[in-house]
C-alpha cells in the first residue's frame, strides 16, 4: 500500500502556526518533541496530517507547493472562523461542482478551502472526494 501520509511545513513561528491550524481548522497536536535536531509537531486535521518543522522557510518565495487543499462540509463556518482570527480569506467563489475560498496560512502558505457539491460531481469524483 502506498498513500500520501502528510505535508511537512517549515514554520518561522511554530507556536503561531500551531494556533492557526488548531483554531482555524480544529487540528489536534499528537506529537511535539525534538526530532532530527529541531522541534517537530505532528498534527491531525480531520483524517489528514501535517508535520511542522521549527525552522523558517528557506526563501521568501512560495516553493513548488502552490497550495494545500482543505475539504470541508461547512465552508461558511470555516471562512468566518478564520476571518475572526484575522486570517485573510477571499470571498467564497462558486463553480459548477464546488465552492471555495483561498486563505493565507503562516509563512505565506496558500490554502484552498473547498466544499464539493456531491449532486453535481461526476461519479468518478465522488469517490475521490470520499462522498
The confidence score (pLDDT) of residue 72 equals: 93
Predicted confidence at residue 122, as pLDDT, reads: 87
Q: Say if residues 117 and 125 touch (Cβ distance below 8 Å).
A: no
pLDDT at 2: 55
Host H or E run for residue 78: helix 75-84
How high is the pLDDT of residue 64? Answer: 60
Residue indicated by cell numbers 461547512 = 74
Sketch the domain layout of the chain as residue ranges: 1-55, 65-131
What distance in Å separates the CA atoms of residue 106 and residue 24, rounded to the nearest whole number? 12
Residue 24 φ/ψ region, left for φ over 0, alpha for ψ in the -120 to 50 degree band, beta for the rest: alpha
What are the distances in angstroms from CA 111 to CA 2, 6, 12, 33, 89?
25, 15, 17, 26, 9
SS3 content of the chain, % helix, strand, coil (to 5): 25, 35, 40
Q: What pLDDT sits at residue 125?
A: 82
Fold: same for 1-55 and 65-131:
yes
CATH architecture for segment(s) 1-55: Roll (3.10)
pLDDT tens by residue, the chain, 131 residues:
656 678 889 899 999 999 999 999 999 999 999 977 889 999 999 989 899 989 888 776 656 677 899 999 999 999 999 999 999 999 999 989 899 999 999 988 899 999 999 999 888 888 878 88
Fold of 65-131: 2,3-Dihydroxybiphenyl 1,2-Dioxygenase; domain 1 (3.10.180)
According to the model, what pLDDT value does residue 123 have? 87
Sequence-ordered list of residues with C-beta below 8 angstroms from that of 41, at least 6 positions apart, any chain: 14, 18, 29, 31, 32, 51, 52, 54
What pLDDT does residue 36 have? 75
In this predicted structure, what is the pLDDT of residue 14? 95
pLDDT score at 128: 79
pLDDT of residue 121: 87
Amino acid at each position: 500500500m502506498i498513500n500520501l501520509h502528510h505535508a511537512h511545513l517549515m514554520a518561522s513561528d511554530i507556536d503561531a502556526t500551531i494556533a492557526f491550524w488548531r483554531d482555524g481548522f480544529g487540528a489536534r497536536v499528537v506529537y511535539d518533541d525534538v526530532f532530527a535536531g529541531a522541534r517537530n509537531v505532528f498534527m491531525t486535521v480531520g483524517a489528514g496530517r501535517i508535520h511542522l518543522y521549527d525552522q523558517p522557510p528557506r526563501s521568501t518565495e512560495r516553493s513548488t507547493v502552490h497550495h494545500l487543499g482543505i475539504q470541508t462540509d461547512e465552508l461558511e463556518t470555516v471562512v468566518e472562523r478564520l476571518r475572526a482570527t484575522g486570517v485573510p480569506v477571499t470571498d467564497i467563489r462558486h463553480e459548477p461542482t464546488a465552492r471555495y475560498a483561498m486563505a493565507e496560512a503562516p509563512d505565506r502558505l496558500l490554502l484552498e478551502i473547498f466544499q464539493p457539491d456531491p449532486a453535481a460531481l461526476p461519479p468518478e469524483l465522488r469517490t475521490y472526494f470520499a462522498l
